[in-house]
Amino acid sequence: MYDQFAVDRLIDTWLLEDIGYCDLTAQTMIDAGDVGAFVMNAREPLIVAGIEVAARIFARYDPSLQIDVRVRDGERIGRGGILLAVRGSARSILTAERTALNIVQRMSGIANETARYVEAIQGTKARLLDSRKTTPGLRMLEKHAVSCGGGLNHRLGLDNGVMIKDNHIAVCGSIKSAVERARRQLPVLTKVEVECDRLDQVAEALETEVDVIMLDNMSVADMITAVQMVAGKVKVEASGGIRIDTIRAVAETGVDYISTSKIMQSAPAVDIGLDDGE
C-alpha cells in the first residue's frame, strides 16, 4: 500500500539521477519517430511487487506510451512470465527501461525473501513483521513489497507508535516511568511497545499499560519463559538475530510476532528483463 503522489516524486528523482542531461545512446542512435514494442519478462520464478510502479515510470517519462500490465503485485509467476508490455517511442522506452527494471527487481526480490521466511514459520501462531531498517527513500515501497510476500508491516515511521527501547528507559529511569510518561500525552488509539532483553524487564513491563512486549535478542529458552509469564495478557514480539535458519525455533516458542530486517536488507534482486516484443 502506497500513495501515488509520493511515488511520482520518487520517480522524478530516479529518472533525473539516471538520465542526467539526456540519454546520449538513445538520442544519437534512435530516430525520434522510431516505434518500439517490448515486454518485461521474468527470468526466474518470482513473486511480483512494484509492477504498477514500473508502469508508472514509463508513463511518467512519456505519457504517450501504451502500457499493458499483465500481472498484479503479490502474484506468483514462473520463468518466462510476462509482467507488462509497452509500445511507443523507442527512445522513451529505452531511456526509462533501467529505472523501471531496477525498482521491480528490488521489490520482487524483497517479496521473494519475505515469502521464504513466512513459509519457514507455517503451522505456528507467529506472524512475520518487517522493521524500519529500510533503504532511505524507499521505505514505503519496500514495506509494500513485504506485504506482497505475505509479511506484515511494523511501524512505517516514528509517528506510527511508541517503541520504548533501552535508551529511552535509561533516560526515564525505569520501564514504569517511561510508559507512564508516554501514556500521558499519547493519542488514545496509539499502541505502546516495550523492548525487553531480560526476564525481569518482562515482569516489570507486565505491570504497566503496554500493548506489546518485544523480546530483544533473548535465548529460545528465555523466550519460552517470557511467553509463559505473559500468558496472553499482551502481544509478544521476538526480535534480534532472526535468520532463516533460526526463525522456526523462535516461532515455536509461542510468540505472536517475529520481526527481522533480513527480509529487506539481505534480499537479492530477482532477474527480470525487457526484451523485444515484436
Q: Which residues are catalytic?
A: 98, 133, 165, 195, 216
- Residue 173 CA to residue 183 CA, distance in Å, equals 16
How far apart CA 107 and CA 57 sit, in angstroms, is: 14
The order of strands in the sheet holding 257-259 is 127-129, 257-259, 235-239, 212-216, 192-196, 162-164
Rounded Cα distance, 251 and 55, in Å: 38
Rg, the chain, Cα only: 23
Find out whether 58 and 69 touch, Cβ atoms under 8 Å.
Answer: no
Nearest alpha-carbon partner for 53 in 64, 44, 43, 40 = 40
**Identity (one letter) of the amino acid at 37?**
A
* SS3 of residue 1 by DSSP: coil
- d(Cα 39, Cα 170) in Å, to the nearest integer? 56
